[in-house]
Amino acid sequence: MTNKLLFVTGTRADFGKLEPLAVAARDAGFDVGFWVTGMHMLDQYGLTKIEVQRVQGVTVKEFLNQDSDTPQDLILANTVIGFSQYVAEHRPDLVIVHGDRIEALACAIVCATNYIRCAHIEGGEVSGTIDEVFRHCNTKLAYCHFVSSDTAVERVRRLGEPMSSIFKIGSPELDFHARPSGVTLPQVRAHYDIPFDEYGVCTFHPVTSEKETMGQQAKELFDALCASHRHFVVILPNNDPGSQDIVSVIDRLPKDRFRVLPSMRFAHFSELMKHAACIVGNSSAGVREAPFLGVPSLDVGTRQNARSVAPSITSVHATETDKIMDFLQMEWGRRYDNDAEFGQGAAAEQFVNILQSDDFWSRGFQKVFQDDA
């Protein structure tokens, strides 16, 4: 009997991490499906559910859990109800959730209360924001953990999880960046109408615990980018509280030097990053993917606190204009050695090898806190 795997995706970011795992599992003979919800379903964020629909040989179920201004607690409640109804009918053998998003937490809760195995991708990470709480909650709810680094292994162990349930595979999105994207930079620029030969990439997301100041932080950052007279491709932020204040600042950027996009196909984004002069903002791409590619990155604010200490990363607060300008002067176009802290781009192969082991499926459902951790 073929095991049924169900991947939960709510954003363009987590889909970039889950797709390599899902494709590898599909090719290994598993019955693979996606449960698509969250930002994927919203027009203003690029209607990225289309990206999931492009994956061949998998089933796709879509669920609208929010509109543009639904509060987080109601998103959680809506997602619990919708996912509970879905798994009651389809009963997957393993549900795969990622990271610290509210959709992942909702689905992990449903799995725990229905004795369905739940695999958590990239647990054991810290960020310095309230989202970290959701990530650690997912760790305690999950049946097993596919983590990205030795440090993450240790954090999950210290949360009381048995070592037999923790598997270090690296960051899955690096699998994609490690191989040719399948498109050329001229094709990317033509597809997204990017006129710049030389550019930085900027994504600045809201920090939910700092939502009252996100507009001012965005203004400080983008004022500095404007003053640098550099060109930037700006990807709109996710839909967490505070995002509209950031978008209001972005809407006022000069169009001759800033190309603003709601979203990008992952292959195109990968190619764009590989050729960027730098990465700016507070996306995980700046602290994980950029170091892997050897691209300098400016990490702004608290969202990615302590996620990585690669030499290619410069950390600043949005108000530190002088440091931002120094970075854009000194680091623009520089290249670093590839950083392998989060793997070498072979996460999917390791993921499938673990799932093909009988030992993986034979563990009991009852979780026991490991006091010796």
Chain segment 67-85, per-residue pLDDT in tens: 978 999 999 999 999 999 9
Per-residue pLDDT at 347: 97
Per-residue pLDDT at 321: 96
Neighbours of 235 (CB within 10 A): 25
pLDDT tops 80 at residue 372: no
Contacts of 84 (CB under 8 A, 6+ apart): 110, 114
Average pLDDT over residues 350-363: 95
β-bridge mates for residue 97, sequence order: 120
Q: Which residue has the higher pLDDT, 87 or 240?
A: 87
Is 176:16 a contact under the CB 8 Å cutoff? yes
Run of H or E residues at 95: strand 94-98
Distance CA 78, CA 72 (A): 10
Alpha helix stretches (DSSP H) within the chain: 12-27, 49-53, 72-90, 102-113, 131-141, 150-158, 173-177, 185-191, 214-228, 243-250, 266-274, 284, 290-293, 321-330, 347-355, 358-362
Is 292:338 a contact under the CB 8 Å cutoff? yes
Fold equal for 4-177+344-362 and 185-330: yes
Neighbours of 72 (CB within 10 A): 15
Run of H or E residues at 94: strand 94-98
CATH superfamily to which 4-177+344-362 belongs = Glycogen Phosphorylase B; (3.40.50.2000)
Among 11-15, 216-220, 304-308, which stretch is predicted with the lowest mean pLDDT?
304-308
Domain boundaries, the chain: 4-177+344-362, 185-330
CATH class of residue range 185-330: alpha beta
User: Tokens at residue 116, please?
Assistant: 């369905």
279: exposed, middle or buried (C-beta count within 10 Å: 0-12, 13-18, 19+)? buried
pLDDT band at 175 (very low <50, low <70, confident <90, very high): very high
Supply the DSSP string of 274-332, one letter for each residue.
HT-S-EEESSHIIIIIHHHHT--EEEESSTTTTS---TTEEEE-TT-HHHHHHHHHHTT
Chain segment 270-301, per-residue pLDDT in tens: 999 999 999 999 998 999 999 999 999 999 99
Distance CA 129, CA 123 (A): 15
Per-residue pLDDT at 306: 66
The tokens 């970011």 sit on which residue?
Answer: 13
Task: Provide the mean pLDDT of the chain.
Answer: 94
Is 330:230 a contact under the CB 8 Å cutoff? no
Q: How far is CA 194 from the centre of its chain?
A: 24
Nearest Cα neighbor of 129 from 290, 10, 319, 301 is: 301
User: Tokens at residue 181, please?
Assistant: 């994207």
Give the strand order in the sheet containing 166-168. Answer: 59-62, 31-36, 4-9, 94-98, 117-121, 144-147, 166-168
Nearest Cα neighbor of 332 from 295, 370, 304 is: 295
Neighbours of 303 (CB within 10 A): 25
pLDDT tops 60 at residue 373: no
Average pLDDT over residues 6-20: 95
pLDDT tops 60 at residue 336: yes
